[in-house]
Structure 1
Amino acid sequence: MIDIFAVLPLSLLLFACAITFVGGFVKGAVGFAMPLIMVSGMGILIDPQTVVAGVIFPIVVTNGMQVARAGLGPAWDGFKEHWRYVVVVCVMILVSAQFLRSIPADVMFLVLGVPVVGLCTVQLIGWHPRIPPRYRRAFEWGAGAVSGALGGLAGTWGPPTVLYLLALDTPRARQMAVQGVIYGLGSVMLFLGHLRSGVLNVQTWPLSALLLVPAILGMWLGFRLGDRFDQERFRRVTLWVLVLAGANLIRRGLMG
């Protein structure tokens, strides 16, 4: 606990736990957005590099829970179909994570905020690209590179993955399986990448480990209560809140 308080005072630690609980709940209820919620919410008051470090363990464990809940068979089938995208995402997460510590704080707020606002807005307006079959392989490589770069720097590669799968007209059941693989393997790469970059270190890993508690509790509650919500309305409200939080991160990046 001494190490944790050296990173964050009690008030900010409780704030981070509350944001993480909300992120876990949303992930359990509708299956997405925990990294976006943690990054945009915690980033309001907490240093960006500390935010990314705090996100790592909750992402690894909750993505593992999601994969296990969906089943390993469908996940393996999804990997075989989209292995190029998965491999590029994982490699780019490892590579881009190494640049995080060299980015100034003001720029990091933009790195965190712009993808949140852009990706949530795209989902709100319902737009997704259409990719002809002859361009599929090039699209897999390019989309994987963008998703992985965002993942290593901002800790989130979920929304680009959703857009990628929609662009290929992937059936919903297969989408869930592929997302599970990409989120699960990507989170392991995020852990390894930031272990090497130094973002996850002896000072920050206790914080990330502590945030597992509210993340798992929130996800458990989301699993139990998710079926009681109008999921589409809940999803849209979540996206609007994320847009506002992301806009505030952009404001901090521009105004210093």
Structure 2
Amino acid sequence: MVAARKRGGGMDWAMAGLEPAAFWAALAVTLFAGFVKGAVGFAMPLIMVSAFSAFLPPEMAVAGLILPTLVTNLFQATRQGLAAAWGSVKTYRRFLIGTVVFILISAPFLTVIPRVAYLLVLGVPVTAFAAAQLMGVPLALPLRHRARAEWGLGIVGGLFGGVSGIWGPPLLVYLLSIKAEKAEMVRVQGVVFLIGAVALLAAHLRTGVADGASLGFSAALVMPAMAGMMLGYRVQDRLDQARFRRWTQGLLVLTGLNLVRQAVM
């Protein structure tokens, strides 16, 4: 685990008392997570939290992903222009409201709710849904239920986002269900994740999880996150709609299985 100790030098603000090995491991994980995000538009917080849990305390793991998530999603949301981003805000406003409100509600319970509980409750249904999609089982939401589904999945995403920093899977479930095309999927993810990241930062400034030390560490992860995302964009731009959808489904299965693995172990 992590040992905190005093040390001199100009990197103290970023290392937040972490051992050098833990700090450099966090940078490497973030670089890879940024690459995956650039390629498929999501999974950066999932990868970071999953890997960080092996060598960081839960509070530091959640705090560390806040600023990289905020900055990378700002770029992702506006890659096709501010007008397109604002259009996504209006179209998916119900999901956004549900997510933001319930991130603020659930964040104070970060240190109260057993980690195994939310990992299982999120991981099992996400794995089942994505696996069914890969096998060709039609699970699309009827159009008459879209508004209800947006509210419901937005609330679920917010509840998990406040306590884990992860609110992407419910959004992916919704976008796959309505068969959103690649550019829209990536842009909407950027918009929802950006606004969610602002809410998460605000919530954890209140809880104390995000303080001067942990935000210094989080700031140090921004550059590797951005470098990885720029590399990932090269992969994304080469993927056609069908392959992009299957990559997304496959990664969602792995994500869900990893959440379950963490819970049972």
TM-score by length of 2: 0.81
Query: 1:40 Cα shift?
Result: 0.9
Task: Establish whether residue 80 from structure 1 lines up as the match of residue 85 from structure 2.
Answer: no
1:128-167 alignment runs, 5 A limit: 129-167=139-177
Look up the match of 1:108.
115
Distance 1:133 1:14 in 2: 47
Query: 1:115 Cα shift?
Result: 2.6
**Cα pair 2:45 2:166 within 8 Å, conserved:** yes
Task: Establish whether residue 30 from structure 1 lines up as the match of residue 40 from structure 2.
Answer: yes
1:172-191 alignment runs, 5 A limit: 172-191=182-201
Distance 2:31 2:187 in 1: 24
Task: Establish whether residue 123 from structure 1 lines up as the match of residue 130 from structure 2.
Answer: yes
Range with greater deviation from structure 2 (238-247 or 25-34)? 238-247
Task: Establish whether residue 50 from structure 1 lines up as the match of residue 60 from structure 2.
Answer: yes
- Deviation readout 1:74-120 (Å, 9 max, x if unpaired): 222222222122111111112211221334xxx22553465346424
Distance 1:70 1:165 in 2: 18
Return closer, same or farther for 1:110/1:141 CA change in 2, 3 Å cut-off: same
Distance 1:109 1:200 in 2: 23
Q: Helix, strand or coil: the match of 1:142?
A: helix
Q: Partner amino acid for 1:98? A: P
**Cα pair 1:84 1:140 within 8 Å, conserved:** yes
Q: Partner amino acid for 1:63? A: N
- Deviation readout 1:13-62 (Å, 9 max, x if unpaired): 11111111110001111211111111111112221111100010000000
- Deviation readout 1:154-183 (Å, 9 max, x if unpaired): 112112012123334545544343323212
Query: 1:235 Cα shift?
Result: 4.7
Return closer, same or farther for 1:113/1:206 CA change in 2, 3 Å cut-off: farther
**Divergent runs of 4+, >6 A:** none
Look up the match of 1:198.
208
Look up the match of 1:59.
69
Look up the match of 1:251.
264
Query: 1:218 Cα shift?
Result: 0.8
Structure 2 gaps, min length 5: 1-10
Q: Partner amino acid for 2:46? A: L
Distance 1:174 1:228 in 2: 16
Range with greater deviation from structure 2 (78-87 or 198-207)? 78-87
Return closer, same or farther for 1:80/1:242 CA change in 2, 3 Å cut-off: closer
Q: Helix, strand or coil: the match of 2:79?
A: helix
Task: Establish whether residue 91 from structure 1 lines up as the match of residue 98 from structure 2.
Answer: no
- Where is the helix percentage greater, Structure 1 or Structure 2? 1
Distance 1:82 1:244 in 2: 28
Range with greater deviation from structure 2 (68-77 or 135-144)? 135-144
Return closer, same or farther for 1:48/1:121 CA change in 2, 3 Å cut-off: farther
**Cα pair 2:62 2:165 within 8 Å, conserved:** yes
TM-score by length of 1: 0.84
**Cα pair 1:114 1:246 within 8 Å, conserved:** no
Identity of aligned residues (%): 39
Q: Partner amino acid for 1:209? A: A
Q: Helix, strand or coil: the match of 2:72?
A: helix
